[in-house]
Structure 1
Amino acid sequence: MTTPTATTTTAATRASASARSSDAPSLTFAAIARSLIAGGVAGGVSRTAVAPLERLKILQQVSSSSAYNGVYSGLSHMWKTEGVKGLFKGNGANCVRIVPNSAVKFFCYEHMAHGLLDLRRTFDKDAEMDVLTRLGGGAGAGIVAMSATYPLDMIRGRLTVQKSAADAAKSGGANYRGIYHAFTVIAQKEGFGAFYKGWTPSVIGVIPYVGLNFAIYETLKDQTVKMQGLRSASDLSVFAGLVCGGVAGAVGQTVAYPFDVCRRRLQVSGWVQAGVQAGGPVYTGMFDCFRRTVAEEGVSALFHGLSANYIKIMPSIAIAFVVYDQLKIILKPEIKISAG
C-alpha cells in the first residue's frame, strides 16, 4: 500500500524532474528557426559596427608596413588611400560568413551546454550549470560553427588584404571580384584544400576563445543578477549586458590571439596578390608559422593588431550577446541557459 508520504515524495520528484527538463532547449522547427535568426542577426549587427577595426586588425597581423601601426594612424591611412569603402572592405564577405557562423554558434551552445548538464546529472542529480559546463558548451559550439563556415572566413581574409585594383594590374595579376569569383578562382588554381588553410590553429584557438566568451558572459550575468537582486538575467539592463560581454570578449581574445595571427598568415601564405605580403614567406604549417614568426619578428609579432582588436572585440562581443539576448526576448525561441 502506498503511503501519503511516499505519494507526495514521488509527486515532488516528478515535478522537480519536469522543471529541470523544461530548462532544456526546445527542438521544434519554429524554436530552432527563431534561435538561428536571433544568433545570425546578432552576429551581423555586431561585426558591421566594428568593420573598420576588423580590417585594421587583419592588416596589422599580416603586414610589415608601419602605415598600419596604431589604431588612429592605421584607420587614417585606410581613409586617405581607399576612402569609406576601404574602411568596410571585406565586410560583405565577413557578414556572409559571420551570420551563419553566429547563428550556428549560439544555437549549438544552448544545446551543448544543456547536453553536458544532462550528462552530469546522470552522475549527480543535483548538478547545476557552472563555469566548466558553459566552457565546454562554448568550446564545442565554436568548433562546429568555425568549421562549418571556415571557407567563407578564408575568402573574407583574402578579400580584405588583396592589393588595390591598380597595383594588381601593374603586377600582371587580377583581384577577386567578389565572394563567388574568389571561390571559383581559388578552387581552380589551388584546389579545395586551400579553403582550409589555417584551420588547425583556428580549431585550437576557438576552444578557449568561444568557450571563455560564453562561460564568462553567462557567469558574470548570473553574478550580476544576484548582486542586484533581480529575478532573472532577462531583467538585466542593456548596459550591464554590454559590460559583461565586453569583459568576456577581452579575456577570450587575449588567450586565443596568437592562433588568430597564425591563421591569417597561413591563409595568405604564398599568395602573390596579397598587397601586404607579396613575395612573403610560405609556411608549411602551423608550427612552422609560429617558429618562423617568433624567430624572424619576435614574440610580439604574435600579438600584432591586439590593441586594435581590444577596441573592436569588446564592443563586438558585447553587442552580439546583448542583441541575441534581446531578440530571444522578442522572438521567444524557448531556448535559455539557466543557472539551475
Structure 2
Amino acid sequence: MGVRKSAVKSRTAVAPLERMKILLQVQNHHNIKYNGTIQGLKYIWRSEGFRGLFKGNGTNCARIVPNSAVKFFSYEQASRIILRFYRQQTGNEDAQLTPLLRLGAGACAGIIAMSATYPMDMVRGRITVQTNSSPYQYKGMVDALSTVLREEGFRALYKGWLPSVIGVVPYVGLNFAVYESLKDWLIKTRPFGLVEDTDLSVTTRLACGAAAGTVGQTVAYPLDVIRRRMQMVGWNHASSVVTGGGGGKVEVQYTGMVDAFRKTVRNEGFGALYKGLVPNSVKVVPSIAIAFVTYEVVKDVLGVEMRISD
C-alpha cells in the first residue's frame, strides 16, 4: 500500500511535465501553440486553469501501479530463467548475468508490462491531449475505453503498440543493463574512493539510476513520439492541438510505424522525433533513479536476499 501511494504521489508531482511532453509530441506543426516547456505550461494555466495541468493524471496513476508490479516481477522471473539457461550452456554454476543478458531480461519485462497495460496508456494519451476546445470530452478512463471500443474497435486500443514494443527493448533493457553494470563497475574498481565496500550508498545508487534513465530514454525517445502520434490516428473528436483546426479527423494519417517516421521527418525535420524531450528528462531521469533504489531498499527491509543483479 505504501509503495502504491508513493507511486501515485510521484506521478502526480510531475503530471504537468508529463502532459506538456505529450502535447509537444503530438501538436500539429501548422498550428504551434506550445514552443517549449515553460511557455507551454503557462499557456495551459491561462487557457485551462490549474486543473488543466493535471489532465490525464488519474489514468496515469491507475496504470503505473500494475505496470511497475508486472515489470519488476517479470524481470526477476526472466533473469532467473535466462541465468539458469546461461549456466547450463556454459557449464559454470557460478556464472552471473552479463550486461547483454540483463538487457534481454529487461526487454522481456518491459514488453510484458507494457502490453498488459497498453490500452490504459493509449486512452491516457488521448485524455491528456484533450483541451477545452475539443468537440468531445472523455469523462475518464472508463468512458475513454468504452468510447474507443464503440467507435473504433478493439484494435484501436493497441494503436502504436509496435513502436512501443520496439522502444521498450532499448528503454527498459538499457535501464536495467546500465544500472546493474554501473553498480558492478563501481564495486570492482572503486574509482575516486567513491565506494568503500560492496554496499553502495543510496546517493551512489541514485546516480547509477539517473545515468541509466538518461541513456535509456534518449535512445528510445523517437519511438515514444511515433507511438503517441499513431495513438491519435482515427480519433473523431481529436483536440485542435492535434488537428490544427476545430476538431475532426487528425490531419496527418499514418499507415504504420515506418510511414509515421517518414512523414514526421519529412514534414517537420529530424528534431521532431525529440519533441518534448526536455520535460520528459526532468521527470523521467530522477523517477527511474528513485524507482531502482526504492525497489532495492524495500527488498532489503523485507529480507529478500536476491537482488536484481543476482
Partner of 2:302: 331
Which of residues 44, 65, 74 is equivalent to 1:78? 44
Per the alignment, in what secondary structure is the counterpart of residue 89 of structure 2? coil
Which runs of 5 or more residues in structure 2 are unaligned? 244-249
**Structure 1 residue 202 displacement after superposition:** 0.5
Deviations 1:17-71 (A, max 9, x none): xxxxxxxxxxxxxxxxxxxx78756654543332211111101100135432222
1:1-340 alignment, distance < 5 Å: 43-63=7-27, 64=29, 65-124=31-90, 125=92, 126-164=94-132, 167-168=133-134, 173-226=135-188, 227=190, 228-232=195-199, 236-275=200-239, 276-278=241-243, 279-338=250-309
**Structure 1 residue 194 displacement after superposition:** 0.5
Larger radius of gyration, structure 1 or 2?
1
The answer to whether the 8 Å contact 1:40/1:103 transfers is no
Per the alignment, in what secondary structure is the counterpart of residue 33 of structure 2? helix
| Structure with more contact order per residue of length (Cα contacts < 8 Å, sep ≥ 6) | 1
Going from structure 1 to structure 2, the CA distance change for 1:189 and 1:85 (only over 3 Å counts) comes to same
- The number of residues matched between the two structures is 294
Aligned mates of 2:2, 2:110 — CA distance in 1: 17
Aligned mates of 1:304, 1:51 — CA distance in 2: 17
Going from structure 1 to structure 2, the CA distance change for 1:268 and 1:181 (only over 3 Å counts) comes to same
Aligned mates of 2:41, 2:179 — CA distance in 1: 30
Aligned mates of 2:168, 2:179 — CA distance in 1: 16
Which runs of 5 or more residues in structure 1 are unaligned? 1-36
The answer to whether the 8 Å contact 2:167/2:223 transfers is yes
Aligned mates of 2:274, 2:81 — CA distance in 1: 35
Structure 1 window deviating more from structure 2 (45-54 vs 282-291): it is: 45-54
- TM-score normalized with structure 2 length: 0.88
The answer to whether the 8 Å contact 1:45/1:320 transfers is no
Structure 1 window deviating more from structure 2 (138-147 vs 76-85): it is: 76-85
- TM-score normalized with structure 1 length: 0.81
RMSD, aligned CA: 2.0
After TM superposition, what 4+ stretches of structure 1 lie above 6 angstroms from structure 2? none
Going from structure 1 to structure 2, the CA distance change for 1:224 and 1:83 (only over 3 Å counts) comes to farther
Aligned mates of 1:68, 1:91 — CA distance in 2: 20
**Structure 1 residue 320 displacement after superposition:** 1.6
Going from structure 1 to structure 2, the CA distance change for 1:225 and 1:44 (only over 3 Å counts) comes to farther
Going from structure 1 to structure 2, the CA distance change for 1:277 and 1:338 (only over 3 Å counts) comes to closer
